[in-house]
Structure 1
């Protein structure tokens, strides 16, 4: 089987590696080198790095120009496979390969169509999420799907859940592809009555708030990312909370209070208390909360939502 693969971030790498181990990947298409971290240097996409390590040809593009489409057509692939490519595909590309264009989507469609399905599943407190192998259509994640696989959500960070779903998606794609190509796959139309939308995460959504519940604040910590971190002000100092855990059976010193007990840092919320275990003060490195709290003059005070 001859495949063209399109993808960009680390989520797409397991799919690429699984395809390369099982089939003939004729071409890997990814977005161009870009500034991807806090430095100012251009960096290749994770998919480009993986493709070069596998010895696969790479085409970098952010648009499906006529020249790019000519290159895709020249590969004479049986199917195009996509995983978080980050570029809108025109109809000519979607119909170019005999078996069409299929996508690895990180949710159990029709739940969480859109840009941020993994973080949305965490913020919503979903018990389970998963991956769907779907046809790419004209709308955003509206296509039929032919296979799904699920996993639990509870207690996992966005990074942990992304890695698990990426691996699950690669395995499912490779297993499903033969049926897609030979036409025996069974396609399921999405039930529009069950659709939920996974809009891009806004930074304000992730701000920790003493007026919110412990559960809501904990979910924000789990779902946080570099682009939308879980932040707050503790004792007048802005910090990003990297890890936390529920502190059961603890009385709060008062709503919107923080307290250092021994080497532990506790934040009181509307309905209880949670413990911060790792944080990153603005302008400094990440550290254990105990080390940061040791530098506080006061053992008790207030914490607040960033304005």
Structure 2
């Protein structure tokens, strides 16, 4: 199969590598180099770096406009494959490849259509996550599904860990679908079930609400870590929470109450405490939560979230 691959972040790299091993990648479409770090150095996307390593032609495009469409059409691809590119594929590009475009999406469709499926699924407390490969259509993540698979995740996996697992498994799933399209055995079925949406997260989505039960607080922590980041306020100071686990301590604390333990800060929820192990106060480097707490000027009335 002669493919055009579109993707940008690290989560798209396993699929690119897998397809490049057995198919002709006519071009890799990715977003332009972006300024990163304090010095704002222009940096290629993870997909661009991988394409360069593999010696594949690269089309850098902020959006799939007429120019990008013309360059892709000139390649006469059999199929387009897209994984987290970061832009919409519209007509006439949608119909340019012989078999159109397929999309690897990190959810069990029709659950969690949108930009942040893994994060939203974790926040919602979903017990099972997965990946789907579907035919791209104009409507958001609404095309017929060729294949879907649930994936076992490490216990208490945060969004970045979950996405790594799904990206590896999804690469194999996508390769199977591409092979099936190539030999004419692929069959896609309409999506069935309740549709849920997964809009992009904002910084505000990372705020932990200590009045909720521990399960809900920890689920949000998992879903927003590392981006946009879990955080709370303490005495008016925003503190980013980098590492936390449900506490094994059976003591009951008032929501937001903070108690220092041996290796963590225990912060009360509506049920059991959350054990916070590593934090980053605003304007300071990351540190252990207990080190930060020892140096923080406070009194017994200080609460998280206030």
Structure 2 equivalent of residue 147 of structure 1: 147
Shift of 1:203: 2.3
Secondary structure, counterpart of 1:133 in structure 2: strand
Q: Check the 8 A contact 1:113/1:196 in 2, yes or no.
A: yes
Structure 2 equivalent of residue 19 of structure 1: 19
Structure 1 equivalent of residue 70 of structure 2: 70
Shift of 1:60: 0.5
Structure 2 equivalent of residue 185 of structure 1: 186
Shift of 1:288: 2.1
Structure 1 equivalent of residue 5 of structure 2: 5
Number of residue pairs the alignment of both structures matches: 305
Q: Check the 8 A contact 2:112/2:121 in 1, yes or no.
A: yes
Gaps of 5+ in 2: none
CA distance in 1, matches of 2:36, 2:196: 29
Runs of 4+ in 1 over 4 A off after TM superposition: 36-39, 297-301
Shift of 1:263: 3.9
Shift of 1:204: 2.0
Q: Give yes or no for the alignment of 1:94 onto 2:112.
A: no
Gaps of 5+ in 1: none
Shift of 1:194: 1.4
Structure 1 equivalent of residue 202 of structure 2: 202
Shift of 1:212: 1.7
Give CA deviations for 1:72-104 in whole Å, capped at 9, x if unaligned: 122122111100111111222121111211011
Give CA deviations for 1:176-219 in whole Å, capped at 9, x if unaligned: 2121233321111012x411111122322220122122112111
Instruction: For 1:28-107, list aligned pairs within 5 A.
Output: 28-107=28-107
Q: Give yes or no for the alignment of 1:264 onto 2:286.
A: no
Q: Give yes or no for the alignment of 1:126 onto 2:126.
A: yes
Q: Check the 8 A contact 2:4/2:77 in 1, yes or no.
A: yes
Shift of 1:258: 0.2
More moved, 265-274 vs 63-72: 63-72
CA distance in 2, matches of 1:65, 1:257: 53
Q: Check the 8 A contact 1:263/1:293 in 2, yes or no.
A: no
Tell me the TM-score normalised to structure 1 length: 0.92
Tell me the TM-score normalised to structure 2 length: 0.93
CA distance in 1, matches of 2:304, 2:261: 19
Instruction: For 1:163-178, list aligned pairs within 5 A.
Output: 163-178=164-179
CA distance in 2, matches of 1:290, 1:236: 19
CA distance in 1, matches of 2:284, 2:141: 39
Q: Check the 8 A contact 2:235/2:303 in 1, yes or no.
A: yes
After superposition, the CA RMSD in angstroms is 1.9
Q: Check the 8 A contact 1:235/1:301 in 2, yes or no.
A: no
CA distance in 2, matches of 1:66, 1:207: 41
Structure 2 equivalent of residue 247 of structure 1: 247
Give CA deviations for 1:93-137 in whole Å, capped at 9, x if unaligned: 121111211011110111111111000110011111111111100
CA distance in 1, matches of 2:225, 2:256: 24
